[in-house]
Amino acid sequence: MLLIQGGLVLTPEMRFERADVAVERGKITSVGTVRRVPKSADVVDAAGRFVVPGLVEAHCHVSLFADGIDARFYDGNEMTDPVTPHVRALDAVHPEDAAFADLRRAGITTISTSPGSGNVVGGQTAIVKTAGRTVEEMLVRAPGALKMALGENPKRVYGEQKKAPSTRMGSAAVLREWLTRAAGYAEKKARHAEKQTAFETGAAGAARPEPFDIDVRLEVLASALRRELPVHIHTHRADDIMTAIRIAEEFDLDCVLIHATEGYKIADVLAGKGYPCIVGPILFSRMKLELRDLRPSNAGALARAGVKVAIQTDEGSATRYLALNAAVAASEGMDEAAALRAITLTPAEILRIDDRVGSLEPGKDADIALFSAHPLDIARCRAERVWIDGKLVYARGSDPESIA
């Protein structure tokens, strides 16, 4: 048994003074008071410190845009075709990327790492823990979602190649074209399956159908049309957000809006539509035209309107500043509890992994961070110890600092 004893246990929903968190076999077994402590227990004195769920990063590019290497060697954008739903982040995650150690030091235990936004359809995301020798050891789920993008990035990439899309109209048209193809493909596949069943069961007059040719791109898009695979759509401007929603409604997609930088302009619309937003990075510059109306108050404005909001960092090694982004959101008007929830339970809910991570509850993975102060008190807060699946992966002052 691991027993984290006597700390201030802070969950998105509750606050426990001088409470204990017990862990066995990689899972949380109790939160409260443990009266009988086995002699064999590994007891950690947490008095005066905060015991918090491991932080969850809902959208980043860790390892795909690897830390400390030349941009020529990045693996995050397969920019040879605007539609690449079949490429997988899972196949580019490098567990030895230096960014993972930085994330553990920051108390971040789960991330959704994604292809970039150079393509209209960029590929499949992977949800992984931040420790492990192989990506299989780290894996929570893959694919987690299908990444799509509107706005400046795909039109710039392919406009420079003198290919479609080179406009916002073109990006939307390309996306509609391929979703329509996928719908037709799914119908043909279903009819083929019916004919195959009729033949195998000996139905009168049933002949063996011709072999059906599998198209790996359309298979992935068809899974999105069946709502088996959520779509994460990169948008910044309010008009691009509305285009994403328009297409999501046309094809009945399970849609999550990534960035939603100008979401505050249409917060009431987004709340009424019910699409979650993964907002950020909040600490960001106006590096391109579509970011000119960037506001650090965006996350708070959306949350107050009733939108489900997670906070993200987008970057690789900068992901270690996830809590700082949430702290800035709180300083700009977001409720402090909502800001903490936006980097713990809310991203877990949006990513559909809240049965495992995001809060300290019996039965969930023992992903736990022991902080010296409240996680949003950036001036004083330091992660002292971090556990993933009950295994200590970081201890402050150890040499090397990350011991995963």
Six token digits for residue 249: 């409604």
CATH architecture designation of domain 55-178+214-357: Alpha-Beta Barrel (3.20)
Quick one: pLDDT band at residue 315, thresholds 50, 70, 90? confident
335 has pLDDT over 60: yes
pLDDT recorded at residue 66: 83
Rounded to an integer, the average pLDDT of 103-116 is 97
400 has pLDDT over 60: no
Please give the Cα distance from 33 to 37 (Å, whole number). 10
* pLDDT tens-digit series, residues 51-84: 999 999 999 999 999 887 777 788 999 999 999 9
pLDDT recorded at residue 150: 98
C-alpha distances in Å from residue 49, one per residue of 26, 34, 226, 354:
22, 18, 46, 25
35 has pLDDT over 70: yes
Model confidence, pTM: 0.95
Q: How many CB atoms lie within 10 A of CB 136?
A: 11
Quick one: pLDDT band at residue 402, thresholds 50, 70, 90? low
245 has pLDDT over 90: yes
- Domain spans in the chain, listed from the N-terminal domain onward: 55-178+214-357
DSSP strands (E only) in 42-129: 42-45, 50-53, 55-60, 108-113, 121-124, 126-129
Residues 113/258, Cβ–Cβ less than 8 Å: no
Rounded to an integer, the average pLDDT of 316-321 is 82
Please give the Cα distance from 49 to 221 (Å, whole number). 47
Percent of residues, the chain, with pLDDT higher than 90: 89
**For residues 123, 125, 126 and 129, what is the CA-based torsion angle, rounded to 10 degrees?**
150
